[in-house]
Structure 1
Amino acid sequence: MANIQTNRWHLQRRTFLKGIGATLALPALEAMRPVMAAGTCGGHPIRMAMLYMPNGVRPDRWTPEGSGDKFKLSPILSPLEAHRDDILVMTGLQNKNSFGGDGHYVKTGGWLTGTTITKTTGSDINAGGVSMDQLAAQQIGQTCKLPSLELGTESVVSGIDTNVNYTRLYASHISWKAPTVPLPCEINPRVAFDRLFRTKSHNGQKQEADQKSVLDLVREDAKRLQNKLGQSDKQKLDQYLDSIREVERRIEQEAKSLGAGENLSPELAKHLGDLDARISKAMGKASREEELHSLPRFDHGEHSRIMLDLIVLGFWSDSTRVSTFMFGNDVTGRNFSFVDGVNGGHHDLSHHSNDAAKLDQYERINRWHIEQYAYMLDRMKQIKEGDGNLLDNSMVVFGSPIRDGNAHDPKNVPVVLAGKGGNQIKTGRHLEFDSGTPLCSLWLSMLAKAGVKEHSFADATTALRGV
Structure 2
Amino acid sequence: MANIQSNKWSIPRRSFLRGTGATLALPFLDAMRPLMAAGSNQGVPVRMGMLYMPNGVRADRWTPSGKGSDYKLSPILSPLQAHREELLVLTGLQNKASFTGDGHYVKTGGWLTGTTISKTTGSDISAGGISMDQIAARRIGQGTKLPSLELGTEPVATGIDRNVNYTRLYASHIAWKDANVPLPCEINPRVAFDRLFRKRSGTGEKRAADEQSVLDLVQEDARRLQSKLGRADKAKLDQYLDSIREVERRIEQEANSLGAGENLSPELLAKMDQLDKRISKAMGKSSREEELSSRPRFDHGEHCRIMMDLMALAFWSDSTRVSTFMFGNDVTGRNFSFLEGVNGGHHPISHHKGNKDQLDQYEKINRWHVEQYAYLLDRMKELKEGEGSLLDHCMIGFGSPIRDGNSHNPRNVPIVVAGSAQGQLKTGRHLVYEEGTPLCRLWLGMLERVGAKTSSLGDATSPLTGLG
Cα deviation, residue 458, structure 1: 1.1
Equivalent-residue separation in structure 2 for 1:56 and 1:170 (angstroms): 16
Equivalent residue number for residue 130 of structure 1 = 130
Cα deviation, residue 4, structure 1: 1.4
AA at the equivalent of 1:438: P
The 1:282–1:421 alpha-carbon spacing in structure 2 relative to 1, beyond 3 Å, is: farther
Contact (CA 8 Å) 1:210, 1:278: kept in 2 or not?
A: no
Equivalent residue number for residue 91 of structure 1 = 91
Normalised by the length of structure 2, the TM-score is: 0.92
The 1:180–1:28 alpha-carbon spacing in structure 2 relative to 1, beyond 3 Å, is: same
AA at the equivalent of 1:2: A
Equivalent residue number for residue 357 of structure 1 = 357
Question: 1:109 aligned to 2:98?
Answer: no
Contact (CA 8 Å) 2:3, 2:15: kept in 1 or not?
A: yes
Equivalent residue number for residue 463 of structure 1 = 463
AA at the equivalent of 1:396: I
Equivalent residue number for residue 436 of structure 1 = 436
SS at match of 1:341: coil
The 1:282–1:349 alpha-carbon spacing in structure 2 relative to 1, beyond 3 Å, is: farther
Equivalent residue number for residue 425 of structure 1 = 425
Question: 1:75 aligned to 2:75?
Answer: yes
Equivalent residue number for residue 291 of structure 1 = none
5+ long unaligned stretches in structure 2: 282-295
Cα deviation, residue 179, structure 1: 0.4
Equivalent residue number for residue 348 of structure 1 = 348
Equivalent-residue separation in structure 2 for 1:40 and 1:406 (angstroms): 49
Equivalent-residue separation in structure 2 for 1:38 and 1:174 (angstroms): 39
Equivalent residue number for residue 289 of structure 1 = none
5 Å-filtered alignment, 1:270-281, equals 279=275, 281=277
SS at match of 1:256: helix
Equivalent residue number for residue 284 of structure 2 = none
Equivalent residue number for residue 321 of structure 1 = 321
Equivalent-residue separation in structure 1 for 2:422 and 2:229 (angstroms): 26
5 Å-filtered alignment, 1:126-165, equals 126-165=126-165
Q: What do residues 298-325 of structure 1 show as CA deviations (whole Å, max 9, x unaligned)?
A: 2000000000000000000000100000
AA at the equivalent of 2:450: A
Equivalent residue number for residue 405 of structure 1 = 405
Equivalent-residue separation in structure 2 for 1:37 and 1:305 (angstroms): 36
Contact (CA 8 Å) 1:382, 1:389: kept in 2 or not?
A: yes
Worse overlay, 457-466 or 120-129: 457-466
AA at the equivalent of 1:61: R
Contact (CA 8 Å) 1:256, 1:284: kept in 2 or not?
A: no
Equivalent residue number for residue 228 of structure 1 = 228
Equivalent residue number for residue 48 of structure 2 = 48
Equivalent residue number for residue 239 of structure 1 = 239
The 1:284–1:348 alpha-carbon spacing in structure 2 relative to 1, beyond 3 Å, is: farther
Contact (CA 8 Å) 1:258, 1:283: kept in 2 or not?
A: no
The 1:218–1:275 alpha-carbon spacing in structure 2 relative to 1, beyond 3 Å, is: farther
Equivalent residue number for residue 179 of structure 1 = 179
Question: 1:449 aligned to 2:461?
Answer: no
Cα deviation, residue 362, structure 1: 0.1
Equivalent residue number for residue 196 of structure 1 = 196
Q: What do residues 427-452 of structure 1 show as CA deviations (whole Å, max 9, x unaligned)?
A: 00000000010000000000000000
Equivalent-residue separation in structure 1 for 2:102 and 2:280 (angstroms): 42
Equivalent-residue separation in structure 2 for 1:277 and 1:205 (angstroms): 21
Contact (CA 8 Å) 2:41, 2:387: kept in 1 or not?
A: no
Q: What do residues 195-241 of structure 1 show as CA deviations (whole Å, max 9, x unaligned)?
A: 00001232222212101000000000001111111111000000000
Q: What do residues 16-44 of structure 1 show as CA deviations (whole Å, max 9, x unaligned)?
A: 00001100000000011122489995321
AA at the equivalent of 1:393: H
Contact (CA 8 Å) 1:210, 1:279: kept in 2 or not?
A: no
Q: What do residues 154-194 of structure 1 show as CA deviations (whole Å, max 9, x unaligned)?
A: 00011100111000000000000010000000000000000
Equivalent residue number for residue 214 of structure 1 = 214
Question: 1:366 aligned to 2:366?
Answer: yes
Cα deviation, residue 263, structure 1: 8.9
Cα deviation, residue 133, structure 1: 0.3
Equivalent residue number for residue 253 of structure 2 = 253
Cα deviation, residue 386, structure 1: 1.9
Aligned residues with identical type, % of pairs: 71
Contact (CA 8 Å) 2:116, 2:128: kept in 1 or not?
A: yes
Cα deviation, residue 5, structure 1: 1.5
The 1:225–1:319 alpha-carbon spacing in structure 2 relative to 1, beyond 3 Å, is: same
Worse overlay, 8-17 or 303-312: 8-17
AA at the equivalent of 1:314: A
Equivalent-residue separation in structure 1 for 2:265 and 2:358 (angstroms): 34
Equivalent residue number for residue 9 of structure 1 = 9
SS at match of 1:91: strand
Q: What do residues 304-360 of structure 1 show as CA deviations (whole Å, max 9, x unaligned)?
A: 000000000000000010000000000000000111111111000100001000000
SS at match of 2:398: strand
AA at the equivalent of 2:257: S
SS at match of 1:257: helix
AA at the equivalent of 1:213: S
Cα deviation, residue 374, structure 1: 0.4
Equivalent-residue separation in structure 2 for 1:52 and 1:114 (angstroms): 15
5+ long unaligned stretches in structure 1: 266-273, 286-295
SS at match of 1:397: strand
The 1:82–1:117 alpha-carbon spacing in structure 2 relative to 1, beyond 3 Å, is: same
